[in-house]
Structure formats: C-alpha cells, structure tokens
C-alpha cells in the first residue's frame, strides 16, 4: 500500500468515527485524546487512529495466571481497592481499520502488590466493544512482581475469529528495559488525570474487512440523488448533489458541518 492510500484511509477513518466517539469523549473527559500529542493551544484530534499499515496487534504469552470464566464487567475496582486508579480506553479495529463491534476483551492483572487472584476473580473481567469498536476498563495500575515489568494481560477476540492473547505496557517503566517479554509496540499511551491515570490502546485484529464497506451496525441510506445535508447518514456509494455538482460517497458516515463534499475528498469524490 502506498503512503497516499494510507493517509487517505486514516482520514476516512477519522471522519467516519468522529460522530460516534464525540459523546464518549465528552463523557469521560477525553482519555481517547491521550494517544495524540497536541501542542499547547492546538485543537486536539477527537478520534482514534488505526495502526499504520494493516499489521495486527502482536501476540504475547498468556503467562501462568489466566483463568477462564471471568465475570463480565468493565470495572475491576471495588470499595476498598488499593492502588492508583487507571482507566484504559481504546478501540478494536479490523485489517481495514474499521471498528469491530462486539469484540470480546478479557483482562486480567496483578493487584497493587503484584499478586494475581488465583482463587477468585479480583482484577479479572471481560467485556465487549460497542458499535464503534470502543471499550473502557476501570482498574488500578498493576503492581510489580519479580521478573516482569508492569503489564496488563488481555485476550481479544472478534466474533467467530481466533483469540489474540497479548499484554499491554506502561511507558517510562525502568523494567521495560530488562523484561525480555516487553515489546514497545504494546505500549499504552498514559497520562495523569489528577491522582488517577488514563491510558489508551487500540487493537488491530486479523479480521478481513473491505475498506469501502460500512460497519454492519451503521444505518444506510439507499443510493439515489439527493442534496447533501448535515445530519444525513450516507453509505459508501451514496450519490448526492452539492453546489450543482454530483458526488459519490466513499465511506459511510454521518454528515457534519464542514464535511461538504468538495471539502472532504476522503469522503466524497466528484462523479
């Protein structure tokens, strides 16, 4: 894939997801912004980026502490839980950088003292992505234990697809340099939020997708010649007129102010 195509795909992805993630970002104070470095005063990006290229997230060893049948929950913190509060947010994408709905994420980690609960299910839980491919995990920063750097274990699985087992890491950890399992490609973006921490990581699964297809959960507009209008849901292939010119939709999205066809070549081409 050439560079131009990659840039175009990324732009399309951002545009397509912008409407969907706007509410959660506002709701949770914007942990999704953590992945983007923003100069002071600049307008931050509100939407995630898929990994460049189509490389799936790498696999890592499961380790000795996985337990099946974890409870379904997004919050691993209970009253009395010790440790620095941590929120991990992100998206699960397929090979074409489109969100994977109902992907299963099963997290497990050590407690503040570096111990796993091998009797019960403390700091173990599974959840599913929403229609935007998004997930949120409320937990604590895991403690260290001998031989390893700080990490969170996770299994990720798109419906009907193989399980990806991997681990997520924290930047600026001294042991990252000596842990032989550590891989910088699995570093989360982490920032402070008061006394808590907010982390972000996006997974890419080996799930075939057609770059021009729309997420299965998106409503579609029947093809036809209509006048472009804000708020309309356009499917790939939809035809509109704007300013007397005809355009073909390249990627399903909900039209926003500023996304007029001539202004967003990633979403519309003349035709």
The sign of the CA dihedral 57, 59, 63, 66 is positive
Nearer to Fe ion, 128 or 145 (CB): 145
What is the greatest pairwise CA distance in the chain?
A: 68
Nearer to Fe ion, 63 or 223 (CB): 63
Beta partners for residue 168, in sequence order? 152
| Shortest Cβ 18–Fe ion spacing (Å) | 36
Nearer to Fe ion, 93 or 107 (CB): 107
Nearer to Fe ion, 89 or 166 (CB): 166
**Which residue's beta carbon is nearest to the bound Fe ion?**
63
| Shortest Cβ 148–Fe ion spacing (Å) | 6
| Shortest Cβ 71–Fe ion spacing (Å) | 19
| Shortest Cβ 153–Fe ion spacing (Å) | 6
Nearer to Fe ion, 24 or 63 (CB): 63
Q: How far is CA 195 from CA 56, 65, 87, 112, 129, in A?
A: 33, 29, 12, 15, 27
Residues 172-191 that bind Fe ion (CB under 5 A): none
| Shortest Cβ 109–Fe ion spacing (Å) | 7
Nearer to Fe ion, 63 or 83 (CB): 63
**What x-and-dash track marks residues 47-86 binding Fe ion by CB under 5 A?**
----------------x-----------------------
143 near Fe ion, rule: CB under 5 A? no
Residues 106-125 that bind Fe ion (CB under 5 A): none
| Shortest Cβ 252–Fe ion spacing (Å) | 39
Interacting residue ranges for Fe ion, rule: CB under 5 A: 63
């Amino acid at each position: 894939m050439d560079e131009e195509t990659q840039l175009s795909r990324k732009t399309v992805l951002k545009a397509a997801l912008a409407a969907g993630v706007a509410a959660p970002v506002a709701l949770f104070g914007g942990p999704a912004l953590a992945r983007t470095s923003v100069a002071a005063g600049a307008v931050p990006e509100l939407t995630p980026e898929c990994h460049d290229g189509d490389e799936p997230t790498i696999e890592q060893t499961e380790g000795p502490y996985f337990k099946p049948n974890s409870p379904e929950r997004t919050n691993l913190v209970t009253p009395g839980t010790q440790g620095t509060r941590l929120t991990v947010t992100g998206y699960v994408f397929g090979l074409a950088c489109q969100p994977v709905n109902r992907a299963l994420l099963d997290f497990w980690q050590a407690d503040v003292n570096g111990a796993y609960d091998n009797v019960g299910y403390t700091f173990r839980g599974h959840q599913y992505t929403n229609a935007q491919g998004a997930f949120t995990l409320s937990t604590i920063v895991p403690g260290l234990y001998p031989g390893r750097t700080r990490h969170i274990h996770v299994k990720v699985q798109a419906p009907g697809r193989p399980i990806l087992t991997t681990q997520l890491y924290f930047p600026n950890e001294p042991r990252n340099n000596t842990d032989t399992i550590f891989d910088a490609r699995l570093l989360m973006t982490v920032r402070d939020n008061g006394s808590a921490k907010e982390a972000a990581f996006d997974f890419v699964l080996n799930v075939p997708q057609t770059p021009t297809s729309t997420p299965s959960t998106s409503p579609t507009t029947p093809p036809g010649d209509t006048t472009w209008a804000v708020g309309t849901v356009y499917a790939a292939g939809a035809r509109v007129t704007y300013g007397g010119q005809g355009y073909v939709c390249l990627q399903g999205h909900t039209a926003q102010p500023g996304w007029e066809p001539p202004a967003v070549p990633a979403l519309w081409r003349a035709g």
